[in-house]
Structure 1
Amino acid sequence: MRTLRGIYANIIIDISHESVDRVFQYRVPERLWGKLAAGQQVYIPFGAGNRRRKGYVVELTDRPEYEVSKLKEIEGIVRESVTAQSQLIWLAWWMKERYGSTMNQALKTVLPVKQKIKEAPKRQIRLIAKEDAFREALALAQRRKYSARLRLFSLLKEKNPVPYDETVNRLNLTAAALRPLEEAGLIRVEVVEKYRNPLLEMKRLLAGEREEAAEALPAAGWQPPVLNEQQRMVSQAICREYDQGIRSTCLIHGITGSGKTEVYMELISHVTAQEKQAILLIPEISLTWQTVMRFYLRFGNRVSVLHSRMSAGERYDQYERARTGDIDMIIGPRSALFAPFERLGLIIIDEEHENAYQSELAPRYDAREAAGELARISGALLVLGSATPSMESYTKALLGEYHLFKLTCRAKADAALAQTEIVDLREELRAKNRSIFSRRLKELLEDRLSKGEQSMLFINRRGYANFVSCRSCGEAIKCPHCDVTLTLHRDGSLMCHYCGHRIAQPKLCPACGSPYIAPFGTGTQKIEEMAAKMFPKARILRMDMDTTSKKGGHQEILSAFARGEADILIGTQMIVKGHDFPKVTLVGALAADLSLYAPDYRCNEETFELLTQAAGRAGRSSIPGNMVIQTYQPDHYSIQMAARQDYEGFYEQEMNYRRLLGYPPAVGLLTLQISDHREDRLDRAAGALAAMAETFPDRFPGKQIPFIGPVNAPVYKVNDIYRKILYIKNENYDILIHIRKMAEACLEGLEGVALQSDLDL
């Protein structure tokens, strides 16, 4: 670890409780100067009696926060005390330096669980009355017009038992209202469990509550899938390097359906056999259900899961299982990276190209970079996997910084990549087809419905329509708190998808009073409605942020689709990432070029990745699959290369574009975003940054450091906060870090102005 010299140390006494929010400052004796670093454990005097305690150094500084004469002195360093906690604290310090945040923000990111959360027991209401007693109680409730009691009895007739909290809230019942029914022996309120373990649903599913899941239950002698030659060669090569102590980051570039997950399982099995632990990061909560089921079949109770939809109690329980060594592996989105494993041996990042691995809150860390640093300090191996690797990762692989492995054929011998067709929507308009469904897509959907096969349709937009505007004055209805239009939903409400502001759709234009206001654009709800009219016998499911907002929403929809309870799944891009449904033989991209219009230099890359991943959902078994790409730009290289599943061809063209315009990974890009709820103060801060940028030629003589801005952010106002951005380009990492620190010093003392930074290399 790199040593930061200083004379004062900020120390956490106990990181397992809420005291992580409170650090204590100590003097560093001269004999320890140069020997301390963030994350090290030290002995310190603590409390009125100066009792000797252990603490963790979180930061070294030359600025005392209290009167120096009152500061106590560190007694010594705890030898051989490299723990999971000390590694995470070092990682927090590294993130603070790398991404520009406060140490407290970084600590709260890597140490998110600070105290045990006590939750109310989970209860349910069970009908226990015999038939005669129940009929008598029902008749009494009808005579006396006990409406809430009648609704409860009706629920219990349909389903017995029912969840306590949900039922009580829904029927407006009280504990006092239920007590007479309990005393009469009609119902019983019983405790189910303290709180739901995230694996219990998996266990119930695999235990045979559903027939198709019972077939998947690992019986005695169950064996993992047999790897094909490519899978075996890749897994053996990586395991061989691991046993030799080689810890170079590995990139597995495997086409969709090539069996990267089976390779991950082999690597995890190899590492856990050596009593090491593993972390598997996945980009979307929606992928958790299928992924965990596959790993549970292989590794049983030694697997756990973390994600943002879990309650605080559930998250605490899983962190404790990791800390105590009760599990060997944890699966989850980027926050799972900070599971406190003492014997971490392997970190795998699946679908590593996804921008979900980039945090939007300070510190704005990239989970791939943070995983690389955690792997370095813990002696673990980092493995990245994707069918469409990020430009940055593939460039590092070509330069030899990463070890590149390829899987070029599908894991199942009888499965082939989907046959992809590009439909020019301009031709559809010329043919008088004004439907969102092209003639070819409609034909293929009818064919799949007649054969009993499944289809997936996606668009990069949720809601019923994109926006509502006035035909008289042209004004669109915008969010009063954000610089974006409101999205129309089927219930007639207009909602901001940035801050959550919601209003009813007005009948008159708020700007001019005209009654001629109407929705424009198409969202997932509108597509669902149109598909239901076009295919009235089809069973349709919709999956987007609106239908999955409740806990377990992803799992309910995906499991229903996997069971064949729907013919068509409609959704946003979340439905075409990483899922494996053998009966899906058709995928339709309804507006493939929407993402090409995004104000981001990565828009071509993201379009290619999305379409390539989408095509990979079709034809994953022996039945051939089709992909239909509907677009107004059929000749764009992102769409053409995605249709051919040609990653190398896309990479070559995109890198030429990046080199020409000076974008990562050809050059480094530092993005400085300043924000304030007062526009006048933001303008002053922007002026200060602009003046700083003008000094680059003097501060860095002989260096070319082009910059753009400060300019308004693509969405200038979000939740009443105004935002401006300054872009700086240079190949040298140290120069860009130095400029970020210059910006921090430049804005120091400007009240109310917040600075966030992103560094892409």
Structure 2
Amino acid sequence: MAEYANIIVDIFNEKLDKTFQYRIPEAMKEKLTLGMQVYVPFGKRNIKGYVVELTDEPEFEVAKIKEIIGIVTDSVPIESQLIALAGWMKKNYGATMNHALKTVIPIKKKSNAVEHKSVRLKLTEIEAKSELAEFERKHQKARVRLLSALIENPQMDQSMITQKLNVSGTVIRALETMGIVEVVSERSYRNPVSHLDSKGYHLTLNEEQQSVVDAIERDLDQKIAKTYLIKGVTGSGKTEVYMELIAHMLAQGKQAIVLIPEIALTFQTVMRFYNRFGDRVSIMNSRLSPGERFDQFERAKNGDVDIMIGPRSALFTPFSKLGLIIIDEEHESSYKSETLPRYHARETAIERARMCGASVVLGSATPSVESYYKAKTGEYELLELKHRVAEKPLPKVEVVDLREELKAGNRSILSVRLQELMEDRLKKGQQMMLFINRRGVAGFVSCRACGHVLKCPHCDVSLSQHVTRQHPEGKMVCHYCGYEIPMPKTCPACGSRYISGFKAGTQKIEMIVKERFPQARVLRMDMDTTRNKEGYEQILSAFANQEADILIGTQMIVKGHDFPNVTLVGVLAADLSLYVSDYHAAERTFQLLTQAAGRAGRGSEPGEVVIQTYQPDHYSVQAAKEQDYEAFYEQEMEYRRMLLYPPVWNMLVILCASKQEQTAYDSAKLLVQEIDTWQENIKAAMERVGEDFKKKRVFPVGPADPAVAKVNDIYKKVIYIKTKDYQTLVELKDRLEHYMRDNRAFKDTVVQFDFNPMSGF
């Protein structure tokens, strides 16, 4: 049992990286847990604080450490649960408690509140007229104006008084001091969805949707908390199922969190929820101002909203009556954090639900291999929606071999077949979407004479070409550190003029499409065109209102959107995500192609999809063409089993980063030696008691260079570790953290852990 507790005394006003250590009294040792609120001596008074860590190691002289006074029993605020969740994240994903706390309680300081002030008359009309006569006698004109207005209207906005009546705050305070008026302040919360106009809800579930809802509601009514996976083809109406389940929870006085993968989904998704639930809905995302974010945090705590929608950070909404967490498009890699702690929203949601007895619903047309594996093995309950709403057919999918296009003399990024279909749709007044998984103009710029590739001097990556209004000649940008140079006219290595970019991006495609179809109205949606706060909403609204014929974009356009007039989707380069150095490559490609295809034919007209690729026979492309998830899953699992990748086994990646390449390598080498020592000790201990060592055995690989071995002059080395049992990796991580804590060899190295990574370091 732990001897000491590290405690945060005030979540909002103290810096989160400042904890204070207290001794745990003997009587409390068995009761005290992470997240509990306790009374502690602080200066000359006793105050409340939260337990954020339990430890046996004193941080300073033992005699000076004060003792915890008691446990707070009268209330258990939502912060306690979130702090306990932060403790779980620290343990399971490898980070400091400080990192975990900053993730689960993102609002660290109270932002300036928006206050609504009004001035109210405290006197009767007779008393007020008497005072007015006195002000008139003394020629106090400002006081006369104010009191005359208040006799007419006994309560007025302070802003109206100061602006319209030209009465200063000094005059108002003077009348307040005299007891004639009082200033009333009300906290006004910013509401990011207040501008929406509800159109009401008029949908009825079909038989298949209703059966899924019934299955989950039976468990909810019996207080059975589970994790469900809804596998529903694109256009099968998963959102209506989510809303029905939320309505059921709201009727029981419970609250719900809906996670979505991209900010781009917020507008359409929120609109559908707002039409049904009105002001009980709010959103949380990175594009809100700090003030707006703080207000949503407060509204959730105060019970002013019951449904929070947003990307993974919305998972930490401080709902005290949480009953349901929904994760839409659960296969999305954006649910895995790329910063410490490298948590996965799906696993963290399941843990938060466990803490408060809630249920979790995962939904996708193309579930992650990990989730489908868990559904197949019974860890999740699998529910399926096999048909589109109103029995609309799935779109017809054609695969175009770009090698054959080149042989036929077509050097355009648009195949002949795709151009024919685009021409047809423009004549019919129908809309289309062109998807490419790349932004900007080019993937890299190289010299065709000597082969020299322009690289960032600070990072181990090629520079990307961008053309903007400010740089019509083009500029070269590093997407890792932001380094920029003008586009060179000659090769810096050999002086040749044959230097240009390869692999067209969204910007280049926009230029090609406008040139080929000058009559078409074209919109482009990527990170460059959606930098401002309303960028997504403006582009999606314009396309939904049919103000454009063609929407060109990166993967943000293919996820979850519902445009009934879109009858053609073109996937311009299916291979771009196929051969990256990541074991998820085939899965990502299949998901993107299937999701892209799912945008077509959602209205009254049937849809067509053209997938352009250099690898038409690849199993992920073929499975996407047939919209056959099962065929893809079986093939993919064969590879995962053969190579011992997740979800069959578990993987831990350890990153060592330093300003000196040799230092990073030496640190990684020391960790590999410690892993070998730990493994030998475990093996010896298990053999002594006659246990099978196989289930605890780990297989380390490395140190090795990651895909990008240098970023911003920081060198990286990685170690890959595979084993069957996840908890073994957690134990190993704990051992390595302990080993590094007092080891001077790691003073110039940053070490990070990533469990079952979604992408490389």
- The answer, yes or no, to whether TM exceeds 0.5 is yes
Give 1:121 shift: 11
Query: SS of the residue aligned with 1:695?
Result: helix
Please tell me whether residue 692 in structure 1 is matched to residue 669 in structure 2: no
Please tell me whether residue 439 in structure 1 is matched to residue 416 in structure 2: yes
Change (3 A) 1:693 1:14: closer
Range with greater deviation from structure 2 (749-758 or 239-248): 749-758
Give 1:621 shift: 1.4
| Partner amino acid, structure 2, of 1:270 | H
Give 1:46 shift: 2.2
Cα offsets for 1:488-517 (capped at 9, x unmatched): 112311112222222211223233343332
**Counterpart position of 2:63:** 69
Query: SS of the residue aligned with 2:703?
Result: strand
Please tell me whether residue 614 in structure 1 is matched to residue 596 in structure 2: yes
| Partner amino acid, structure 2, of 1:110 | V
Give 1:725 shift: 1.2
Match of 1:638 among 620, 623, 644: 620
Query: SS of the residue aligned with 2:652?
Result: strand
Match of 2:337 among 344, 349, 359: 359
Please tell me whether residue 91 in structure 1 is matched to residue 85 in structure 2: yes
Structure 1: where are the runs of 5+ without partners? 123-192, 207-216
Q: How far apart are the structure 2 equivalents of 1:301 and 1:194?
A: 15
| Partner amino acid, structure 1, of 2:11 | I
Cα offsets for 1:63-92 (capped at 9, x unmatched): 111222222111122226433110100000
When normalised by structure 2's length, the TM-score is 0.85
| Partner amino acid, structure 1, of 2:725 | N
Give 1:379 shift: 1.1
Q: Is the 8 A contact 2:656 2:665 kept in 1?
A: no
Match of 2:33 among 37, 50, 62: 37
**Counterpart position of 2:577:** 595
Matching of residues 50-69 of structure 1 within 5 Å: 51-69=45-63
Matching of residues 143-292 of structure 1 within 5 Å: 197-203=191-197, 206=198, 217-218=199-200, 223-292=201-270
Give 1:719 shift: 2.2
Query: SS of the residue aligned with 1:521?
Result: strand
Q: How far apart are the structure 2 equivalents of 1:608 and 1:226?
A: 31
When normalised by structure 1's length, the TM-score is 0.85
Q: Is the 8 A contact 1:744 1:755 kept in 2?
A: no
Q: How far apart are the structure 2 equivalents of 1:759 and 1:743?
A: 14
Query: SS of the residue aligned with 1:710?
Result: strand
**Counterpart position of 1:557:** 539
Change (3 A) 1:274 1:536: same
**Counterpart position of 2:396:** 419
Range with greater deviation from structure 2 (102-111 or 518-527): 518-527
| Partner amino acid, structure 2, of 1:757 | F
Matching of residues 739-750 of structure 1 within 5 Å: 739-748=732-741, 749=743, 750=746
Give 1:111 shift: 0.6
Query: SS of the residue aligned with 2:22?
Result: strand
Give 1:326 shift: 0.6
| Partner amino acid, structure 2, of 1:35 | K
Change (3 A) 1:428 1:98: same
Matching of residues 12-51 of structure 1 within 5 Å: 12-48=8-44, 51=45
Give 1:759 shift: 1.6
Q: How far apart are the structure 1 equivalents of 2:311 and 2:680?
A: 44
| Partner amino acid, structure 1, of 2:700 | F
Q: Is the 8 A contact 1:672 1:740 kept in 2?
A: no
Structure 2: where are the runs of 5+ without partners? 117-186, 469-473, 684-692
**Counterpart position of 2:309:** 331
Cα offsets for 1:491-546 (capped at 9, x unmatched): 31111222222221122323334333222221111100000111010000001111
**Counterpart position of 1:211:** none
| Partner amino acid, structure 2, of 1:27 | R
Q: How far apart are the structure 2 equivalents of 1:229 and 1:660?
A: 41
Give 1:44 shift: 1.7
Please tell me whether residue 529 in structure 1 is matched to residue 525 in structure 2: no
Q: Is the 8 A contact 2:190 2:295 kept in 1?
A: no
Q: Is the 8 A contact 2:41 2:47 kept in 1?
A: yes
**Counterpart position of 1:168:** none
Change (3 A) 1:708 1:325: same
Query: SS of the residue aligned with 1:42?
Result: strand
Q: How far apart are the structure 2 equivalents of 1:720 and 1:681?
A: 13
Q: How far apart are the structure 2 equivalents of 1:584 and 1:55?
A: 55
| Partner amino acid, structure 2, of 1:106 | A
| Partner amino acid, structure 2, of 1:302 | R
**Counterpart position of 2:327:** 349
Give 1:119 shift: 8.1
**Counterpart position of 1:725:** 718
Give 1:697 shift: 4.9
Query: Following superposition, which runs of at least 4 residues in structure 1 exceed 6 angstroms of deviation?
Result: 119-122, 193-196
Give 1:19 shift: 4.1
Change (3 A) 1:42 1:649: same
Change (3 A) 1:195 1:505: farther
Q: How far apart are the structure 2 equivalents of 1:587 and 1:370?
A: 35
Change (3 A) 1:745 1:45: closer
| Partner amino acid, structure 1, of 2:749 | V
Range with greater deviation from structure 2 (472-481 or 416-425): 472-481
Give 1:194 shift: 8.8
Give 1:637 shift: 0.6
Q: How far apart are the structure 2 equivalents of 1:254 and 1:411?
A: 11
Give 1:565 shift: 0.7
Q: How far apart are the structure 2 equivalents of 1:699 and 1:721?
A: 34
Range with greater deviation from structure 2 (262-271 or 39-48): 39-48
Q: Is the 8 A contact 2:672 2:700 kept in 1?
A: no
**Counterpart position of 2:407:** 430
Q: Is the 8 A contact 1:494 1:503 kept in 2?
A: yes
Match of 1:712 among 705, 709, 733: 705
Q: How far apart are the structure 2 equivalents of 1:337 and 1:446?
A: 45
> What number of residue pairs does the alignment pair up?
668
Cα offsets for 1:403-434 (capped at 9, x unmatched): 11100011233x22110011111111111111
Percentage of pairs with the same residue = 59
| Partner amino acid, structure 2, of 1:44 | V
Cα offsets for 1:566-615 (capped at 9, x unmatched): 10000111110110000000111100011111100010101101101111
**Counterpart position of 1:546:** 528
Q: How far apart are the structure 2 equivalents of 1:349 and 1:197?
A: 23
Range with greater deviation from structure 2 (290-299 or 66-75): 66-75
Change (3 A) 1:420 1:247: same
Range with greater deviation from structure 2 (7-16 or 617-626): 7-16
| Partner amino acid, structure 1, of 2:38 | V
Q: Is the 8 A contact 1:747 1:753 kept in 2?
A: no
Change (3 A) 1:455 1:109: same
Give 1:650 shift: 0.8
Larger Cα-atom Rg: 2
| Partner amino acid, structure 1, of 2:530 | T
Cα offsets for 1:687-717 (capped at 9, x unmatched): 2123234436513423342221111110111
**Counterpart position of 1:651:** 633
Give 1:105 shift: 0.6
**Counterpart position of 2:644:** 662
| Partner amino acid, structure 1, of 2:729 | L
Q: Is the 8 A contact 2:4 2:56 kept in 1?
A: yes
Query: SS of the residue aligned with 1:412?
Result: helix
Q: How far apart are the structure 2 equivalents of 1:26 and 1:38?
A: 14
- State the Cα RMSD in Å: 1.8
**Counterpart position of 1:758:** 754
**Counterpart position of 1:307:** 285
Query: SS of the residue aligned with 1:725?
Result: strand
| Partner amino acid, structure 1, of 2:459 | C
Q: Is the 8 A contact 1:507 1:515 kept in 2?
A: yes
Q: How far apart are the structure 2 equivalents of 1:727 and 1:57?
A: 34
Q: How far apart are the structure 2 equivalents of 1:112 and 1:607?
A: 33
Q: Is the 8 A contact 1:45 1:72 kept in 2?
A: yes
**Counterpart position of 1:375:** 353
Change (3 A) 1:345 1:224: farther
